Structure 1
Amino acid sequence: MPHPLDAAAVRSWCGLALEALGRERERIDAINVYPVADGDTGTNLYLTVESAARAVEAAFDGHAEAGTAPCLADAIGAMAHGALIGARGNSGTIVAQLLRGMTEVLAAADGSADALRQALRRAAASTYEAVAHPVEGTVLTVATAAAEAAERAAGEDTDAAGVARAAHEGARDALRETPGQLAVLGRAGVVDAGGCGLVALLGALADVLSGEVSAAPVAIRADAPLPEAAGCADAGPVAAAGGRDPDGPAFEVIYLLEADDTAVPHLRERLDGLGDSLVVVGGDGLWNVHVHVDDAGAAVEAGIEAGRPYRIRITHFGGARAKEPAMTARAVVAVVPGAGLAELCAQAGATPVPMSPGEPPASGELVQAIRQAHAREVMLLANDPDLRHTAAAAAEEARTEGVRVALIPTRSAVQGLAALAVHEPGRSFDEDVVAMTAAAGATRYAELALAERQSWTMAGVCQAGDVLGLIDGDVAVIGSDLTGTAMTVLDRMLSAGGEMVTLVLGAQAPDGLADRLEEYVRERHLAVDTVVYDGGRHAAPLLIGVE
């Protein structure tokens, strides 16, 4: 029996789409050859829709507490917002924009067949607006075909369920054609991975509105001959189809951005000059930015100039892009505060998981980072005592997928840096675990932070605005200025000895702080060396490590 397109249908759509992508995730990952063959399109789409589903459930819970029921606008708006803030990768970011395009229509509509047709058309158009260099034979083409099929289904007797089913079938037909539209797909004998995910998403919508079970999933590998019109012959380099060189930038940078809409055109222009696969989606002051670059720091700095970037994620592709990501023997995954440390870890060959203040990564994000490392063995550095259980859960899930994971007991980013410095893939797994654990344990750590309110501490009562010096997690010093407090903390830490001081400066650190502290260490502790790193915007004002 057909179901109306209302808030309940949106809720069911999220659940059914999540189930569908959960079933298809590994198959979609396996055919991911464009724009980067990193085997994570299915995972990214799943995590994006998972975020959308959580937002819809939160909207329903909020209305239940108020004794009201959500309307279509509430539910579809929550779905789009959840996808925006949780979008992962190129494909997830595009799907987030597609949902936002649908919301622009459905938020002011009645859920009729005509409204759904208009919403699908707006969704397809909005995805082209979000992508800097649209390429045919991708999810963009599939979205357009779905909208066109929905429009062809117009008629007095066609309800929303019929429109959704037509869109799903049009998307399936278009997906089969993608190997003949994009050369890299034709050479690999696969359809577009992002388009495959969109077919699953539209199939879930059609199932919810019609109450029927969709047909068997479209073949995603060309084991059997594709339709004659698909044409799998090599059509030349990808660039000829309007794309960029697939042997390009080495980093994927994603972040949420709070910025005035007027600042976004300049941001797009600057990021387009830095790399490729640029997708900027959102609006009304909140944006999701995705780009592939060689200079990850410059991509983040561009966001800082435009507004306030947060939830920054930097993924290292691991060198030259290949058709199939090569499995390495061992890798390191590290949670780090601030883009500067994330870039430092990425340059050292680790997979960083950047963490913004008050926004710790979920276990699913850590599992995804472990998968992206493409290694049989992984050293996981949580670098925060509050993430111990989250990291343990991620490690356990990764082990069920056949990855050997060791959770190195690091409680601070400086301990993580010490562990990373002695990491040696050439020795045995157990020996590497022991060496990295020993290096972390031999590193005392401190953090300087500003007190937000009056409170009792181990060092006495602090007032709002005081500088707190935390040593090994406990407040040990209360001061009035960052430099003086840092010197006191260094004296206390070095009183027990030490050979190396690591200073990680955040964006709040005053100019000249590093020079003054280096000089202070030289004068007071002659045999101690000092190394300085830029932690970036979201790092604490100062992190200190003593080895």
Structure 2
Amino acid sequence: MEINKIDGALLKKAFKGAVNYLISKKEEVNALNVFPVPDGDTGTNMSLTIKSALKQIESLEGSFSVSEVSQAAARGALMGARGNSGVILSQLLRGLAEGLDGLETAGTQEIAIAFKKASETTYKAVMKPIEGTILTVGRETAEYAIRHYKKNDDLVKFLEDVLVEAKKSLDETPNKLQVLKEAGVVDAGGMGLVVLLEGALKVLKGEEISNQEDDEVLKKKAQKEIQFTEADESLEFGYCTEFIINTDYDDIDALREKISPLGDCLLVVGGGGTKIIKIHVHTNDPGKVLQYGCELGLLQDIKIDNMRYQHRETLFDESEVENARESEKEEAIEEKEFSFITVSMGEGMTETFKSLGVDYVVKGGQTMNPSTEDFLKGIDKVGGKVVYLIPNNSNIILSAEQARDISDREIIVIPSKSVPQGIAAILAFNEEASIEENENNMKEALSSVIDAQVTYAVRDTTINGKEIHKDDIIGIASKDIVESGTDITEVTINTVENLMNDDISIVTLFYGEDVTDEDAENLQEKLEEKYDDIDIEVIKGNQPIYYYIMSLE
């Protein structure tokens, strides 16, 4: 059947199909990561980001236009953006929404213009655009759409041609980016974009795409679906109350202060121009909390669970609620001149950062990049007039910057790409220095430390002329595999040796959850014997994925 125009209802259906199709292909996208490490995250980040967009779309009620659907998608993706690919995807949806702004329906011309606007927005979002990535695939796809929309009024036929061009562009990414060519893969982000287009097109052609639940959703359900056979009357507050407010209201502090007397484990997330506020609270009077929400705007996703009997799936992760509970044990947030927020993925690392004066630690890292919303929640929990965000991962920097742009606080992002860099940046901070001096000093400190990681390869590949085999232990430094082998301790020692120079006086190693205390102590003894004039410090980091994360200073 020929489709000349797409309305809001059909766009919503196509969007849902695109999301489910991406989730079904998530691991295929993850497998395209250039480095063969077990933290493939492009597919995961894009699927979580786009699911956040879909959640906002599904909250729309009654009849709605393509403009309203695209605006909802942009809002959801903005808050849920994870990793570089997720942030770029959120900006793509933002541009798409701008291109469809004010339209009830859209035909081939309007879709082509929206594609072009989406591409332009993604390029503006990246400081140094790199060709051979999702940016290129989006741009070349949009350019084709602009050149050809007049040739066909049939939207399905038009999008079939556009998809063919998108796949051609994807296939060409290794010829534009040498690292892809050497690894024998196409760009993962570009693949994710093609999958989304393909999923949407399948729906428009009448195909059914079943609902998908990715591993993260299933994991959360397994954690949360806990049944209590008897009522627990010991709980002070019995009703877990959650909902979202669609509102222009922006005074998060005032709203939190208003709700706070009604319960505990309070989370108030949003504002900053996002048009939505998420509420979580344990209370004995959910009706009163809902009333406060109704005074500010329209409510959606309302969930009220009697915790004395049961605990079911919620809007907030279990870890978020636990963080809220822990925060209530602490003193009220007091205003101060500055605060630090950093990202950590292991208990030992978290304790190290806290010992250095970090005010709030966002849980995350390689296996689960925190979202823009996670950073905003952290900003909301610290009292610094100036807040320094220290992401400690190159794939998290854009999310931190997006949180900075949304927040109405003074936020400075220090683009640390590893835990050792983050530690060096904090140590470079001087309370007596100006904001500008501290920002410069902290950024300069990032280059003062040499860092590396030891993990294992998930597939065969060749990088910079080195042949790597599946399950090899590999040492990674400066986006290069500097060592490989079959023994963790041996590879770690050789990695240190590869990075050692005459200026090094301290070597610090954080050992992960898969390394025993005995093995870590054995490694320390061997390094101390090899480098008797250098301080060797081994700390239990408990991080996943990486056996060791090390710094040489």
| TM-score, normalised via structure 1 length | 0.49
| TM-score, normalised via structure 2 length | 0.49
Higher relative contact order (CA 8 A, sep 6+): 2
